[in-house]
């Protein structure tokens, strides 16, 4: 067994049915993910983030057509050798549009739907569904139609229904892009809890850079189908020039520290802050 739970080696992919896009969606991607890591993937629209997500659970190249080369290993197994259904027990994928992911008549049916497709024993399915329901706190919605819930609640159900398959890696493709700030915060807290308490490996694609900076262990920055930066949040955000070049913002506190670089270094800090708390702590300590 390899020490990495997910490994992408020299992956290239070009969509078949994309007449408007001539360039490949992914170019020469190499990525190694350790068990329990919380990775944030950021980049502009069409930089290849969603394609990367679909790759992790084998939807690419199996369900979506295109030219694929390279190798994707999940827990040491090549995704090409495993069916999408089997893969769903290794990698759970959550999509941006909560409503489109739901199909069942009640929230509870939604939780049992995936495992029942895998023909798992009834008792085990109920056990998993009950566990997940507690974890994501959906008890009050158990018998409700998922379509009668708010967007944030629906996204929680979508996450729960994927977790009911008991995957080792959770991949989320812009899960909060249609939600209000309060629900966004709630989803982030759930994801963080899964990572910290259950040691779930998480790959999160998002636009909310400032919010992500509070939670993730590692950032992968993509541009135009390539990975341009990969490292700890501090490391990544220290490359301000790269972000400028790919027209992306870094957390305001980081650019603020950048603006007063000379002065900032005199304060005895060598690393830029990436979260509000850090910045405030630095300012406070300076005045004391």
Partner 1 sequence: MSDMSMYIPGNSFFHKCDAKVKMLLLVIVSIMAFLFHSPYLSGFLLIVGAVFNYISIGNRMFKHMLTRMIIIMMFFLIILHGFVNPRGETPASFFGQEISLPFFGAYTYEGFYLGLVFWLRLSSIIMMAELFISTTSPSDLIHGLHKLGVPYNFCFMVSMSLQLIPISVREAQIINSAQRARGLPEKSIVDRFKGLLPMFVPLVVSSLERMERTSMALECRGFGNTNNPTSMSDIVIRKSDIALMVITLLLLVACVIIRIRFGSFDMTDHLTSWADCFRLVAR
Partner 2 sequence: MNKEVVAHIENLEHTYSSGHKALIDINLDIYKQEITAIIGQNGSGKTTLSKHFNGLLRPTAGKIFVNGKDVASRRVSEMAREVGYVFQNPNYQLFCPTVLEEIRFGLKNLKLSDEEIKARSREVIEEFDLRGMVKKQPVTLSSGSKKIVALASVYAMDPEILFLDEPTTGQDQYGKTKLGLLSRKMKQLGKTIIIISHDMDFVAEYADRVIVMNESRVILDGTPADVFSNEEVMKTAHIMPPQIYAIGNHIHAVSSETRLSVMELAKVLAEGDYCL
Sites of contact with partner 2 (CB under 8 A): 20, 43-46, 96, 150-151, 174, 177-178, 180-183, 185, 207, 210, 247-249, 251-253, 255-256, 259-260, 263, 276, 279-280, 283-284, 286-287
Within 13 Å of residue 272, how many CA atoms lie on the same side as its CB? 24
Interface pick for partner 1 out of 21, 100, 260, 280 (rule CB under 8 A): 100
Please tell me whether residue 77 binds partner 1 under the rule CB under 8 A: no
Report in angstroms how near the CB of residue 132 gets to partner 1 at its nearest: 13
Interatomic CA distance for residues 177 and 168, integer angstroms:
24
CA angle 126, 35, 175 (to 5 degrees): 65
Binding to partner 1 (CB under 8 A) within 150-169 occurs at 158, 161-162, 165
178 binds partner 1 (CB under 8 A): no
Which residue has tokens 């089997």? 86
Among 2, 30, 77, 117, binds partner 1 (CB under 8 A): 117
Rounded distance between C-alpha atoms, residue 208 and residue 187, angstroms = 12
Strand partners, 229: 221
| Min dist. Cβ of residue 88 to partner 1 (A) | 5
Q: Are 148 and 115 in contact (CB under 8 A)?
A: no
Q: Which two tokens stand for residue 127?
A: 């056990």
Residue 88 vs 195, nearer CB to partner 1: 88
Residues 47-66 that bind partner 1 (CB under 8 A): 54, 57, 59, 63
* 143 vs 110: CA distance, rounded Å: 10
Residue number with CB closer to partner 2 (197 or 259): 259
Q: Using alpha carbons, list the distances in angstroms from residue 98 to 149, 191, 202, 216, 231.
A: 10, 16, 18, 23, 30
Q: Which is nearer to partner 2, 9 or 286 (CB)?
A: 286
Residue among 42 and 163 whose Cβ is closer to partner 1 = 163
Q: How many residues bind partner 1 (CB under 8 A)?
A: 42
Which span sits near partner 1 by CB under 8 A: 21-29, 40-48, 89-97, 245-253?
89-97
Report the C-alpha gap between 208 and 6 in whole angstroms. 24
- Contact, 231 vs 219, CB < 8 A? yes
Distance CA 240, CA 213 (A): 15
Residues that bind partner 1 (CB under 8 A): 54, 57, 59, 63, 83-85, 88, 92-93, 95, 97, 99-106, 109, 112-122, 125-126, 143, 145, 147-148, 158, 161-162, 165
């Amino acid at each position: 067994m390899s020490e990495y739970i997910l490994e992408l080696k020299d992956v290239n992919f070009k969509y078949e049915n994309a007449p408007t896009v001539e360039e490949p969606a992914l170019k020469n991607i190499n990525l190694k993910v350790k068990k329990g890591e919380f990775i944030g993937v950021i980049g502009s629209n069409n930089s290849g983030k969603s394609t990367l997500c679909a790759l992790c659970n084998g939807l690419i190249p199996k369900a979506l057509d295109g030219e694929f080369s390279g190798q994707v290993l999940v827990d040491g197994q090549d995704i090409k050798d495993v069916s999408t259904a089997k893969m769903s027990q290794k990698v759970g994928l959550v999509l941006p549009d909560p409503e489109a992911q739901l199909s069942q008549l009640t929230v509870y049916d939604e939780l049992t739907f995936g495992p029942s497709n895998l023909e798992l024993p009834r008792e085990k399915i109920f056990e998993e569904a009950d566990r997940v329901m507690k974890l994501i706190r959906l008890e009050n919605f158990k018998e409700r139609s998922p379509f009668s819930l708010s967007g944030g609640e629906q996204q929680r159900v979508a996450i729960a229904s994927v977790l009911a398959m008991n995957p080792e890696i959770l991949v989320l493709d812009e899960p909060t892009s249609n939600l209000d700030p309060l629900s966004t915060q709630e989803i982030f807290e759930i994801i963080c809890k899964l990572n910290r308490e259950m040691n779930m490996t998480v790959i999160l694609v998002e636009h909310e850079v400032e919010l992500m900076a509070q939670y993730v262990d590692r950032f992968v920055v993509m541009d135009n189908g390539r990975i341009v930066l990969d490292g700890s949040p501090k490391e990544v955000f220290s490359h301000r020039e790269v972000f400028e070049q790919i027209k992306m913002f870094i957390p305001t506190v980081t650019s603020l520290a950048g603006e007063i670089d000379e002065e900032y270094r005199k304060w005895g800090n060598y690393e830029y802050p990436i979260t509000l708390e850090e910045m405030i702590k630095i300012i406070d300590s300076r005045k004391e």
